[in-house]
Amino acid sequence: MGNCGYRYWRILILKILVKKMFIKKIILSLILFSSIITKINCQDGSLDSTFGPNQNGTVITPPSAFIPVTSAAITSIALQSTGKIIASGEAGLTTAAVARYTTSGILDTTFGTNGTTTITPPGVTLMFASYLAIQTDDKIVVGINGLKAGVQQFIVARLNPNGTLDTSFGSGGSTSLLIGTNSFITSIKIQSDGKIVAAGQATVSGVNQFAIARFNSDGSLDTSFGSPNGFVTFQIPGSTTSQINAIAIQSDGKIVASGQATIGGVVQFTVARFNSDGSLDTSFGNNGVFTFPLGTASAFTAVSIQSDNKIVLGGIAATPANEFTLIRLQTNGTRDTSFGNAGIAIVPLSTFGSGTTSANLFSIAIQSDGKIVAGGEANPGGVTTFALARFTTNGILDNSFGQNGTVTVLPLTIFGPNPSSAVIANILIQPDGKIVAGGHFSSTTLSYFALARFNVTIGCFTNLTQAIIEKYGI
């Protein structure tokens, strides 16, 4: 009886061990499988085959969709609450052009006329670029550069969500402002209270300076900003010329204005921060200003605010060839030395491909996981093409993105026949993490609005592997 009991327990224990080994094999297989999934899903930057009419991740819109001209180019893109993509730019260097695309990258024929519209404010000519922002009610605010009465000045227009001109804004849908003797817009943002901030450059007393104006939601000038003018101009100390290329608005309403200034004959990275009333924030940097020369010339072209309020700036530095460059600042305007190399991150030209001699960064965006995406152009093999790079939160090129942290899209194989060049002007990140890039594609005869969308997997599946190991101690 005792011997039978022993045999019973021995068999039972063996069964348990065999079962445990079988489960362990299954678990090990799951770990291997999850690791494969992780590897696949973490390699971001591939073109999204669900996007575009040809399902190749890209879409181009010819200039004839706007007016009978041979050139069109996107300068800015944004998302409406529906996820539809608004793209603004120029057509024929004479007209502000706007198009809307569905979430799948098809021209949305319910917008404007067959998906596109043009803006021609009264008395305005030679409109060569436009920058946009979307209100919470999905109305589209467009900053336009153009000549009015023969003088270049700030021009702002607003469209209804469906692309028709919003005649309740300004005077019949638009408003204009001359600052100094000459002024133009390079960036436009909407505050949380609905007021519109437009920034760029103005010539005052013969000197090109930073210029910022603020408009009420009805298009009237907000005279509480830079009281009583509704605008401010600022000459960077020691500079002979300066301009804003991009702005960002902090959660506390302060305006971070990034661009360039020529100091001592050298064009250099420049940032100034302004309080919500338009006064200079002297607690930032050196009495309100951060300047930094890098290489023979450098300029910030993009700025974004992290969730911890650190300031990420993107631009171009000639060292000596033009290169993608990022600098991160602490909230007080000093360099964040924990980022990149002493606060600076540069993309080596070779990472974009063999033969790359130049790369220009024009836009940055921050993913929900804190990674930083930069977009612009590079010329691997002598062909100028869409170029993206992604950095980790500490300013290191992210090898899980594309090839060695960068992606290039060759116009020859993607956008169309007879390629000449393709350039990203602006990027954004969708709520699902996918990256949309807008710019232009040029053939030997035409220049088109061009969009591309890239896959991104936020967070990946590394947590699955870790959870299995922790649960079963394998």
What pLDDT was estimated at residue 417? Answer: 63
As a whole number of angstroms, the distance between CA 237 and CA 286 comes to 10
Cα four-point dihedral sign 219, 220, 222, 228: positive
What pLDDT was estimated at residue 13? Answer: 38
What pLDDT was estimated at residue 413? Answer: 57
What pLDDT was estimated at residue 320? Answer: 94
- 88-92 — which CB contacts under 8 Å span 24+ positions? 88/130, 88/131, 88/132, 88/140, 88/142, 89/129, 89/130, 89/425, 89/440, 89/449, 90/127, 90/128, 90/129, 90/130, 91/63, 91/66, 91/67, 91/118, 92/63, 92/66, 92/67
As a whole number of angstroms, the distance between CA 271 and CA 327 comes to 11
- In a domain, residue 35? The reply is yes
In a 13 Å sphere around the CA of 306, the CA atoms on its Cβ side amount to 22
Report yes or no: 436 and 450 within 8 Å, Cβ to Cβ. no
What pLDDT was estimated at residue 467? Answer: 38
Total number of domains constituting the chain: 1
Q: Minimal CA–CA distance to 54: which of 105, 100, 101, 103?
A: 105
Report yes or no: 146 and 123 within 8 Å, Cβ to Cβ. no
In angstroms and rounded to an integer, the radius of gyration of the C-alpha atoms of the chain is 26
The C-alpha angle 64, 70, 74, rounded to 5 degrees, equals 75
Q: What is the pLDDT of residues 60-102, one digit of tens each?
A: 999 999 999 999 999 999 999 999 999 999 999 899 999 999 9
- In a domain, residue 250? The reply is no
As a whole number of angstroms, the distance between CA 326 and CA 307 comes to 17
As a whole number of angstroms, the distance between CA 473 and CA 10 comes to 25
Q: Minimal CA–CA distance to 98: which of 150, 155, 138, 140?
A: 140
Q: What is the pLDDT of residues 16-60, one digit of tens each?
A: 333 444 444 444 444 444 444 444 445 799 999 999 998 899 999
- The DSSP-derived string for 149-214 is TTEEEEEEEEE-TTS-B-TTTTBTTEEEE--BTEEEEEEEEE-TTS-EEEEEEEEETTEEEEEEEE
As a whole number of angstroms, the distance between CA 470 and CA 407 comes to 36
Kindly state the tokens that stand for 183. Answer: 């002024």
- In a domain, residue 195? The reply is no
Q: For residues 16, 22, 24 and 27, what is the CA-based torsion angle, rounded to 10 degrees?
A: -140
pTM of the model: 0.88
- In a domain, residue 11? The reply is yes
- In a domain, residue 215? The reply is no
- In a domain, residue 464? The reply is yes
Pairing of the two strands 344-346 and 322-329 = antiparallel
What pLDDT was estimated at residue 21? Answer: 46
DSSP secondary structure code for residue 431 in this structure: T
What pLDDT was estimated at residue 243? Answer: 98
Burial call 159-185: b when 16+ CB within 10 Å, e when fewer: bbbebebbeebbeebbbbbbbbeebbb
DSSP secondary structure code for residue 120 in this structure: -
Q: What is the pLDDT of residues 368-389, one digit of tens each?
A: 999 999 999 999 988 899 999 9
- In a domain, residue 21? The reply is yes
Return the number of other C-beta atoms located less than 10 Å from residue 238's C-beta. 12
Range of the domain at 471: 1-44+459-474
The C-alpha angle 185, 191, 196, rounded to 5 degrees, equals 40
Burial of 249 (C-beta count, 10 Å sphere; 0-12/13-18/19+): middle
What pLDDT was estimated at residue 416? Answer: 63
As a whole number of angstroms, the distance between CA 304 and CA 306 comes to 7
What pLDDT was estimated at residue 459? Answer: 57
- In a domain, residue 6? The reply is yes
pLDDT in tens, the chain (474 residues): 444 443 444 444 334 333 444 444 444 444 444 444 444 445 799 999 999 998 899 999 999 999 999 999 999 999 999 999 999 999 998 999 999 999 999 999 999 999 999 999 999 998 888 999 999 999 999 999 999 999 999 999 999 999 999 999 999 999 999 999 999 999 999 999 999 999 999 999 999 999 999 999 999 999 999 999 999 999 999 999 999 999 999 999 999 999 999 999 999 999 999 999 999 999 999 999 999 999 999 999 999 999 999 999 999 999 999 999 999 999 999 999 999 999 999 999 999 999 999 999 999 999 999 999 999 999 998 889 999 999 999 999 999 999 999 999 975 456 666 678 999 999 999 999 999 999 999 988 899 999 999 999 875 543 343 333 333 444
Structure-token match 């936020």, residue found: 458
As a whole number of angstroms, the distance between CA 443 and CA 424 comes to 15
The C-alpha angle 219, 222, 225, rounded to 5 degrees, equals 145
As a whole number of angstroms, the distance between CA 266 and CA 387 comes to 27
Return the number of other C-beta atoms located less than 10 Å from residue 82's C-beta. 12
As a whole number of angstroms, the distance between CA 425 and CA 392 comes to 22
